[in-house]
Structure 1
Amino acid sequence: MQNVTEPTKLRKVVSVKEGELLMDKKLLTEDGYNALKKELLYLKEKRWKEVSEKVQESRNFCDFNEDPEYQTSVDEFATLKKKINDLEYIIKQAKIIKNANIREVGIGSIVTVKEMTEKYEMHFKLVSPAESYLSENYISDESPIGKSLIGHKLNDNVIVMTPSGMMHLLITEIQ
C-alpha cells in the first residue's frame, strides 16, 4: 500500500453539475491531475476511515432523533462522499494538456502581466477550474482574467472586465 499523506493543500473541487455529459472532458495540467489524484487517495485511504470511525462512535452513544454530534458526523460523511465522487469524475474525465506554446497564453501557461493603471505586476499560472487555487496564484481559465488572456501573445494589451471593475493588462512574460 502507498504511503498516504495529507496533500500540502486541499483544493476546492468544482462540483460536477447534474446532467453534465460524460463525454465532456476536463482539461487539466499534469501537475493539477497529479495533485487531484493525490488528494483523492488521501480522502479515500485516510479521511474516509477517520470520518467513518467518527460516525460509528457517535452512533454508539446517541439518541438518533436529538443528537447534534451524530448529525454533524453524518453530514461530514456525506460531504466527504460527494467530494470523493466529484474528484473521481473529474479524474476519469481528465484530458491532460501540455502547453508547450510559449508564444501565446493557454491553460498551463505561467504568465506575468502588468496592470497599467495601478502599475503593479501579477504572476500566475492559468489552470482549469478544478485546479484553481488563488492563494497559490493558480487562476482558472474561466475566470475573467483567464478568459481574457487566452490566445493573447507577449506584449499584448488586454482589457479585462472583473466584478470589481475594468483592468488594463500588458502581458510581459509567458512561460
Structure 2
Amino acid sequence: MAKEKDNVVNDDEIINEEVLNSDNIDEEEGEDVLKEDLDETEQLKNSLAILQADFMNFKNRIEKEKSQSIALANEGLILKLLPILDDLERGYEHKQESNEFTEGIKIIIDNFKEVLSREGLEEIKSNNMPFDHNLHQAILMEPSDEYDSGTIMETFQKGYKLNNKVIRPSMVKVSE
C-alpha cells in the first residue's frame, strides 16, 4: 500500500507537471500571439502614417498644379495684352501737346499697368543696365564711347516678367 501511495503521489506529480507544462505552453503561445498582434499593430500604424504622408503630398501637388494652371492662363492673357500696352505707351510718347485727352490716355496706361502688376507682372529694367541674356535680347550691337562694353544703350521693346518668370525679354541695343 505504501507503494501505491507513492505511485499515486507520483501520478499526481506527473499530472501536475503536465498541467504546469501545458500552462507554460499556453503562456508561450499567448506571448507569441501578443507579439504577433503588436507587430501587426505597428505595421498598421506604419501603413497609416505612410498613407497620410502620401495623401498630404498628393494634396500639395494638386494645389501646386492648380496655381500653376492659373498662372499659365494669366500668362497667355497677359501676353495678348502687352502689345496693346506697348501701343498705348508709344502713342502717349509721341503726343503733340498735353491736354485732357492725353492726360486721360496716361491715366488709362497707369491703371492698365497697375492691374497687370497686381497679377504679378513686372517690367524688366534695361536702359543703362548691363546686358543679361536671361532678361534681354540683343537686336543691335554698336561701338560706343559713351557706354561701357556690354551696357544697354537703347530699348526697342520693353520686356516683362510674370511672377519672376521672363515672359517677354527686352529687345535692346548693346554697346560693344
| CA radius of gyration, larger in | 2
Which has a greater percent of helix? 2
- Please give the TM-score of this superposition, normalised by the length of structure 2: 0.26
- Please give the TM-score of this superposition, normalised by the length of structure 1: 0.26
- Highest RCO, 1 vs 2 (Cα 8 Å, sep ≥ 6): 1
